[in-house]
Amino acid sequence: MDTIISTIIVCAIIAVICVFGVLKYIKSLKSGCCGAGGDSVKKVKPKDSNAKNFNYEYKIVIDGMTCKNCAMRVENAFNSDENYLAKVKLSENSAFVRAKQAVEEKVLRDVVIKAGYIPMKVEKV
C-alpha cells in the first residue's frame, strides 16, 4: 500500500514538472527564447561607425545565442564602448568585433560573458 502511494506522489510530481515545461515552451514560442516579452532589444548605435577608424578585427565564436535579441545584446555590449564596432552574425554564432587598438583575448571574452553568453573561440582576423 505504501509503494502505491509513493508511486502516485512521484507520478504527480512528474506531471507537474511536465506541465510547467510545456507552459514555458509555449511562452517561449510567443515571446522569443530570451523571454523578452515580444519586445525586441533596442540597438545601441556605436559612437564611431566608420570602420576605417578601427585597425584590429576579431572573430568571436559564441555559444548560447539563439535569436536576434541574443545577437543584439552581444552587439550592444561592444558598441556601447567607443573603442569597439561590432556586428553579430547569428547564422554563424559569431561576433565580428573591430577595435581601435589591440585587445587581449580575455578582455573580449569578458565582454561576451557580461552580456550573458559563452565565448568559445577568439581569433584575430
pLDDT at 111: 97
SS3 content of the chain, % helix, strand, coil (to 5): 45, 20, 30
pLDDT at 28: 55
pLDDT at 30: 54
CATH code 3.40.640.10 for 51-124: no
* Positions of the chain with pLDDT lower than 70, given as ranges: 23-40
pLDDT at 5: 87
Q: Where are the domains of the chain?
A: 1-31, 51-124
Q: Which three cell numbers stand for residue 61?
A: 565564436
